[in-house]
Amino acid sequence: MTGLRSSSSLVAAAPVLSSAALLFFCCFTTGAADAGNGGGGLRLGYYSESCPRAEDIVKEQVAQLYHKHGNTAVSWLRALFHDCMVRSCDASLLLEPTATSVSEKASPRSFGMRNFKYIDVIKAAVERECPGTVSCSDVLALAARDGAAILGGPRVVGMRTGRRDSRESHDDEVERDIPNHNDSVSAVLSRFAALGVDAEGAVALLGAHSVGRVHCFNLVARLYPTVDAGVDQAYGAYLRQRCPTADAREDTRDVAYARNDRATPMVLDNMYYKNLLARRGLLLVDQRLADDPRTASFVARMAADNAYFHDRFAAALLTMSEYNPLGDDEGEIRRDCRFVNPAA
């Protein structure tokens, strides 16, 4: 990918950590943060003077919460993806509904998302150190970065901060902008391209599906009335055990699910790509990556080389996290991530 740092500067080997908990769905370039709104003031060490321990506090909180509630790390990766895909990386996702707006979290595309309360825990810890200084959007981006590392993924370096928080929800744009589980590869690549992420980076970011789980609601179309011919026979039988009926409902809390990766369900590794090559892609959009000529070579290479996957994932995560930052006059630093600041 153009404008990337070398893999040695982006990624250092991360220890493999395990947990029984699970959850999930679902490039450092100068141009990414400079596109639109003057780059929003993003830079390395943004809080070095105003809140020197900001990034350390986030990392400490991520570690503490992970060891108490392992699925939090997966939640933050998904939350950053959902936040950045809609308009900007601006923490609009975190806003609660008001008398005049609907929360982005209410969208069907957000089904299954959770652990927002722990973002509030991290934010509160930062607020105690530096009141009104660190944005919720930076907290979310840094938590996703540190969450990836604690899941055994890459240690991403070079994440710029200085994001501003949105004053409004963009709930009417969620369905349009968040890719669906059965979208075409063209639709997915087009959406990622809008964020400045190329095909290689898109394939790498979808590797986040190496961790977590998928609700049966998103799977049954591939299993009933007959199992999709593109699914490995034994895997199809396993999925039918996990999802025994075709009437799985989206709007129930007691939902059945299947793990994205049965071998290393809480490790952010290249098992996802190995599964695709073995016809064990859980979501239709995942399996299509292995068949499409625009993405198949990346799938094969990432399946063969975990370090390459980590390198590309780290680069693409940085690019996505810098999408369309708000200018100083467009956003604010929310004190409570759930609500805009009261009018002065």
Residue 324 near residue 88 (C-beta atoms within 8 A): yes
Element holding 299 (H helix, E strand): helix 296-304
Confidence of residue 180 (pLDDT cuts 50, 70, 90): confident
The predicted-structure confidence for 223-278, as pLDDT tens digits, reads as follows 999 999 999 999 999 999 999 888 877 665 556 788 878 888 899 999 999 999 99
The total number of structural domains in the chain stands at 1
CATH number, residue 130: 1.10.520.10
> Does the structure show a pLDDT above 80 at 132?
yes
The predicted-structure confidence for 199-210, as pLDDT tens digits, reads as follows 999 999 999 999
Angle at 155 between CA 276 and CA 162, to 5 degrees: 115
In terms of residues, how long is the chain? 344
What mean pLDDT is reported for the chain?
Answer: 86
Annotated binding-site residue? 86: yes
Confidence of residue 288 (pLDDT cuts 50, 70, 90): very high
Annotated binding-site residue? 129: no
Q: Which domain holds residue 92?
A: 22-208+307-321
Annotated binding-site residue? 108: no
Residue 326, domain member (yes or no): no
6-30: average pLDDT: 34
Residue 77 near residue 148 (C-beta atoms within 8 A): yes
90-117: average pLDDT: 88
Residue 243, domain member (yes or no): no
Catalytic residue annotation: 82
Residue 49, domain member (yes or no): yes
Annotated binding-site residue? 90: yes
Annotated binding-site residue? 34: no
